[in-house]
Amino acid sequence: MKLRDAHLRRMRDGTFDTLVIGGGINGAVTAASLAGRGASVALIDRGDFANFTSQASSNLVWGGFKYLENLEFYLVWTLCRSRNRLMRAYPDNIKEIAFYAALDKAARYKPWFAGLGAFGYWVIGQFGTKRPPLLNRAKIEREEPAIDTSNVRGGIEYHDGLLVDNDARFVFSFVRSAIEAGAAAANYVELVSATREAGRWVARLRDVDSGDEFTTTASTIVNAAGPFVDELNREWGLSSEHRIVYSKGIHLVVPRLTTTDHHKVLAFFDDTQRLFYVIPMGRRSVIGTTDTRVDSPFTETTEDDIEFLLEQINARMDLDQPLSRGDVIADRCGVRPLVVKVGAGDQSEVDWTKLSRKHAIEVDPAQRVVTIFGGKLTDCLNVGEEVAEQIEGLGIPLEEDLHNWFGEPAAATRAEFVRQARLMRLDGFRTKADTEPLTDRLWRRYGRRAFAMLDAIREDPAMAEDVMGSADYLRVELHTAAQSEMVTKLEDFTRRRSKIDLVVPRADIESSPGLREVAEILFGTDADRRLAEYFGGDDLVPAAVRPPSADIEA
């Protein structure tokens, strides 16, 4: 909590060039790009960073093959360019992955036509990925026997990018970058009100964790509240050319469905002829997503949603046992904030899935507010750059963009890390053969911070032990998270900095004594309060996680 306290102190009565509201991907890249170019920036989110839409994505960095169906060639070209740029900047965090689409007899497109589409996608994608190979039924059967090929006429393969960890952790990497460039950033800080006084914004902020209220002032505001941007603009009396509508999407996390070692995304057309995917997540598979019009940004996965996806997947895969409700380890649910023009009429009439996924950035020069409508994780670098241009236009001087506010450290730094890790035989500490080498994992997750982790392990080899049985987190990772990842609540770590809540069954979490140590490292003397908060009450904390003395009393 020390990191957060320090940042709250800087915000209290602080004076900034820009206050960024919303710590999803759009707010995080904005803060990183502005701070990286010398602006003084404050970034707040009323929940944890990436607690809303940006933790519910498919984790794909992609050009949107399916948008070709809507003939959105320019959008696909732009997204592919953003994808290629991100894949180059994050070679360890974003990996190229093959999408393997089996087309059955009911599919909307014949394999030759879909194959043409895959080739076109590769060309529009500026040849940024491997060339799509031809795929036939025999090859599908050979390479992925888990696909039910009884009705399959053929297939296609094309390539895009996958975030190896998760979307929320990727968002946090931009928050870290903003912090390292001098921004003040705090999670669980809500904007209560903002008024214009003597040419500046005076913002009343509330620390949601403690209830304290304080004031900060800024010359400009960036409204990056995702699904809530219209609400904020209305409160400030701003009118805009665009507004947001919501499309709900869910994912189910289940035990790994693919039977081969091939690391691929499987793509299928569902009964409504919409593409959905089976996406790898370590030793799990993620099935999704759906696309349903909703009127509120607050949604949850319903039993009908789950039944629909399970039915779709069971009809298309040749599994030893059909998937059932009991196989669902976790679900993810969110709304895509989609942009429409104000006055474009009643959107309930349009085909929801055909609404464009473009973002729009609007500036109100009189009120000095920049609003980001919509967007995708994939397009984040463009958003960061476009917002910076608008802020500069409002008279905030920015340094030249050297593009050093994003990306992984240089290849030479990585090579030095790998050398040091090899010399100390880091990978020998791995206890589970089916997990990735520790060298890769620590570098990808922590970048330069991983050097200090090697020091800590050299000093105390117990730092390289897994803390929670099936969760794949070393003790040293917890210490790093406690110091530098602004973990305020236990769920911030289990759901967003890590993906424990997504990949470890709830029963395993509840019976893991290691969770207590996780809380103690992260929160020290506050561990019991945070555990009770995580489980929903003191009396709901499972026996395995309670302090030993509490067991004796019980």
Q: How many CB atoms lie within 10 A of CB 222?
A: 28
Which amino acid, residue 390?
A: Q
Dihedral sign for Cα 102, 108, 113, 117, please. negative
Using the minimum distance from each CB to ligand FAD, give the nearer residue, 284 or 336: 336
**Least distance in Å: CB of 517 to ligand FAD?**
29
Using the minimum distance from each CB to ligand FAD, give the nearer residue, 85 or 516: 85
Q: How many CB atoms lie within 10 A of CB 199?
A: 7
- Three-state DSSP at 36 gives helix
**Least distance in Å: CB of 508 to ligand FAD?**
26
Using the minimum distance from each CB to ligand FAD, give the nearer residue, 49 or 122: 49
Using the minimum distance from each CB to ligand FAD, give the nearer residue, 258 or 289: 289
**Least distance in Å: CB of 388 to ligand FAD?**
16
**No. of helices (H) and no. of strands (E), the chain:** 19, 18
Binding residues for ligand FAD, rule: CB under 6 A, are 21-27, 44-47, 50-54, 56-60, 190-191, 224-228, 249, 289, 334-337, 375-378
Q: Which helix (H) or strand (E) holds 534?
A: helix 527-535
Using the minimum distance from each CB to ligand FAD, give the nearer residue, 242 or 430: 242
Q: Which tokens sit at 192?
A: 């209560």
Using the minimum distance from each CB to ligand FAD, give the nearer residue, 4 or 376: 376
**Least distance in Å: CB of 377 to ligand FAD?**
3
**Least distance in Å: CB of 465 to ligand FAD?**
34
**Least distance in Å: CB of 292 to ligand FAD?**
10
Using the minimum distance from each CB to ligand FAD, give the nearer residue, 23 or 36: 23
What distance in Å separates the CA atoms of residue 496 and residue 45, rounded to the nearest whole number?
14
Using the minimum distance from each CB to ligand FAD, give the nearer residue, 111 or 297: 297
| Selection from 226, 207, 349 nearest residue 298 by Cα | 226
**Least distance in Å: CB of 376 to ligand FAD?**
3
* CA dist 246 → 68, 353, 374, 473 (Å): 21, 11, 10, 35
| Selection from 279, 226, 254, 246 nearest residue 331 by Cα | 254
Side-chain half-sphere exposure of 279, counting CA atoms within 13 A:
26
- Three-state DSSP at 274 gives coil
In the numeric block, the tokens 């933790």 are attached to 55
**Least distance in Å: CB of 235 to ligand FAD?**
9
- Three-state DSSP at 483 gives helix
